[in-house]
Amino acid sequence: MKTIRILSLLAATALPLCAQDYSEIVELDKLEVSADKESNFSLPLDAAPASASRLGLTNRDLPVSVSVVTQEVMQLRGLRTAVEAVESAVGMTGGTQFGSIPTYTTRGFGSNSVSILRDGIRQNTASQSSRTVDSFLMDRVEVLKGPAGLMFGEGAIGGAVNYISKAPAATAKGEAFFSAGAWDSYRLGLGWGGPLPIGREGAVTARVDYSHNETAGYVDRNAQRYDAVAGAIGWQASEKLKLTFNTTYLEDWNESYYGNPVVYDAVINTTVAGAQPEVRSFNSNTDAMINARVDVSTRQTNYNILDNYAETENSLTRLRAELTLTPEIEVRNETYIATQLLKWRNLETNVWNPVTQLVDRRSFLHIYRDDVLTGNRLDFTHRGTIAGRPNRFLIGGFFERNDQTRGGTPTGYATTASSVTLQNPAETYGPGDPNRFQKTSRIVVKTGALYLENALDLTSALKLIIGLRRDEINLQRDTLVTPTTTFATYEKRYDPWTGRGGLVWSVTKDLNLYAGYSRAAEPTTQLVSFSASSNDFALQTGRQFEIGAKGTIAEGKVDFTLALFDIEKNNILSSTLDPDTGLRISQQIGAQNSRGIEFAVAVSPDPTWRTELNVAWTDAWYGSYAQNLGAGVIDRTGNSPTNIPEWVVGLFVHKRLPAGFAVNAGLRYVSDRFGNLNNSVVADGYTTLDAGVSYTFGRTSITLRGRNLTDEIYEPVAGTTMRRLADPLSAELSVRTQF
Determine the Cα–Cα distance for residues 603 and 217; give it in Å rounded to an integer.
36
Number of Cβ within 10 Å of residue 252's Cβ equals 21
Question: pLDDT over 90 for what percent of the chain?
Answer: 80
Mean pLDDT, rounded, for 271-277? 93
- CB within 8 Å of 110: residues ≥ 6 apart: 103, 104, 158, 641, 642, 643, 644
Angle at the Cα of 330 from the Cα atoms of 327 and 336, rounded to 5 degrees? 155
pLDDT the model gives residue 707:
98
Do 636 and 627 contact (CB within 8 A), yes or no?
yes
Among 428, 420, 291, CA closest to 358: 420
Q: What is the DSSP string of 439-484?
A: EEEEEEEEEEEEEEEEEEESSSSEEEEEEEEEEEEEEEEEESSSTT
Q: Phi and psi of 587, rounded to 5°?
A: -135, 150
CA 622-623-627 angle, to 5 degrees, is 50
* pLDDT cut 70: percent of the chain above it: 92
Helix (H) or strand (E) holding 103: strand 101-106
What pLDDT band is residue 288 in, cutting at 50, 70 and 90?
very high
Question: Nearest 5 degrees, angle CA 67-CA 592-CA 154?
Answer: 60
Residue-level pLDDT at 419: 97
| pLDDT 10s digits, 513-541 | 999 999 999 998 888 877 776 667 899 99
In degrees, rounded to 5, the angle at the alpha carbon of residue 234 between the alpha carbons of residues 229 and 239 is 170
Q: Is the dihedral of CA 504, 505, 507, 509 positive or negative?
A: positive
- DSSP secondary structure letters along 604-659: -SSTTEEEEEEEEEEEEEEEE-EEE-SSSEEE-TTPPPTT--SEEEEEEEEEE-GG
Closest CA relative to residue 360, chosen from 371, 369, 370, 350: 350
Nearest to 688 by CA among 650, 640, 638: 650
Which tens digit of pLDDT belongs to each residue from 316-371?
999 999 999 999 999 999 999 999 999 999 999 999 999 999 999 999 999 999 99
CATH entry 2.40.170.20 includes domain 2-738 = yes
Residue 459 in this model has a pLDDT that exceeds 60: yes
Nearest to 84 by CA among 95, 75, 76: 95
Span 113-164, pLDDT tens digits: 999 999 999 887 776 678 889 999 999 999 999 999 999 999 889 999 999 9
pLDDT at position 42: 63
Strands 686-697 and 700-707: antiparallel
What residue segments make up the domains of the chain, in order of their start? 2-738
The whole-number pLDDT of residue 31 equals 35
The least confident of 25-39, 322-336, 409-423, 625-639 is 25-39
Give me the phi and psi of 646, to 5 degrees please.
Answer: -75, -35
3-class DSSP state of 677: coil
Residue 584's Cβ-count burial label (10 Å; 0-12, 13-18, 19+) is: middle
CA distance 387 to 382: 15
**Are the C-beta atoms of residues 75 and 736 closer than 8 Å to each other?**
yes
Q: What is the DSSP string of 168-226?
A: PBSS-EEEEEEEEETTTEEEEEEEEEEE-SSSSTTSEEEEEEEEEEEE--SSTT--EEE
Gyration radius of the chain's alpha carbons: 26
- What DSSP state is assigned to residue 297? G
Stretch 693-708: mean pLDDT: 97
- pLDDT confidence tier of residue 35, bands split at 50, 70 and 90: very low
Side-by-side strand order, sheet with 159-165? 66-70, 138-145, 159-165, 114-118
Tell me whether residue 380 is exposed, middle or buried, using C-beta atoms within 10 angstroms of its C-beta: 0 to 12, 13 to 18, 19 or more.
middle
Q: What is the pLDDT of residues 375-385, one digit of tens each?
A: 999 999 999 99
Q: How many other C-beta atoms can be found within 10 angstroms of the C-beta atom of residue 1?
A: 6
Please give the Cα distance from 528 to 315 (Å, whole number).
Answer: 20
DSSP state letter for 182: T
652 CB-side CA count, 13 A: 25
The sign of the torsion formed by the CA atoms of 127, 128, 132, 137 equals: negative
| CB proximity list for 290: less than 8 A, separation 6 or greater | 264, 265, 266, 267, 268, 277
Helix (H, G, I), strand (E, B) or coil at 47: coil
Write the CB contacts of 26 (distance below 8 Å, at least 6 apart in sequence): none
Q: Mean pLDDT throughout 394-411?
A: 93
- pLDDT tens-digit map of 228-270: 999 999 999 999 999 999 999 999 999 999 999 999 999 999 9
pLDDT over threshold 50, residue 12: no
Distance of CA 215 to the CA centre of its chain: 22
Instruction: Look at residue 32 in the predicted model and tell me its pLDDT.
Output: 39
Q: Report the SS3 class of residue 23.
A: coil
Strands 682-683 vs 626-628: parallel, antiparallel or unpaired: unpaired
N-terminal to C-terminal alpha carbon distance within the chain: 40
Distance CA 621, CA 592 (A): 6
**What distance in Å separates the CA atoms of residue 408 and residue 391, rounded to the nearest whole number?**
53
Among residues 389, 382, 397, the alpha carbon closest in space to that of 324 is found at 382
